[in-house]
Chains A and B, each alone.
Chain A
């Protein structure tokens, strides 16, 4: 190609573009496709995601997968060891099949762990964006209210609210949601304040745009990602807290199967059979670990190269 000087108003790129047929023009990947592509290259995240998928599937399909009724016990067959005939994972202190109970318990634990984070994500993002974008008195009001909740340790706050509301799954969901909302609000607010000060928001205002299009197209698109990543880090904590509440008798009520509750009931039998009581604990550990690894990978994949 002949060398020619670049005239005023044209960049060297233009010269190149003229020699390109339109079909060659590359269409770069969209943001979410880039994120997905990056996730597929991250082995640890893929494994964690696979494990989680299995756990979620087994919980969803528990009614079909479980070989026994999770609440039907047998006096003769109490605390059978792992590998006992007909009971691959043994039986609990009332002779109920551990495999069936773990499958059904996963349902409860996942519901109790995921729902509060989901609620906190929606409510927290809304409050945080509102406080961050409006600012002033609204911000002070929202954020200082959140600070009151934030002042208590998570476990203590969950126990206090659950204790006041009484046991049962709905109350667990309410108390855990209250635990997680202030955390999400904080992250959402700081992300909003940061993005709000950027010049592309000022440019949108200068073009005469109202508040709603700015929030929709410029603010949320750049704020929801970090909030989502933060919320995903809280899922494992939420699962542990939900199990913890059941363990203390403040969560799901017997005879329902739930990992924390199972752990609590089997605790006394640990000298009779050490392995069976460890199973619900192992299930909680693996699930929360997988959620942690997945959210780590998600955070890495969603980092924008600005």
Chain B
């Protein structure tokens, strides 16, 4: 059974969002890392890049395939997780902690309301 922490918001495309003040941390869910398995490469957006909600901005690669990661919210990338780029296995072992992808300064906080609640996300993944 995949973990779905109750203090996060979720995108249909399997990213999670943790909001602290005006900044959101983004990663991929336990369900997503489990589906991908064996993550061997993580490509992160450049710091300073402005993203629109739903924009493809990172790539996660398993042995078998490359998958796009979409920003759940709009804003400017203020920090990326170099540790995950150096050790992509972190995304498998700690998807909600050490395996985060990037932090984004929100340009439209209202977008958060459009994201899934933990309950809705659980329902989507059949959990």
Q: Do A and B come from one complex?
A: no
A-to-B contact residues, CB < 8 Å:
none
Which residues of chain B have a CB within 8 Å of any CB of chain A?
Answer: none
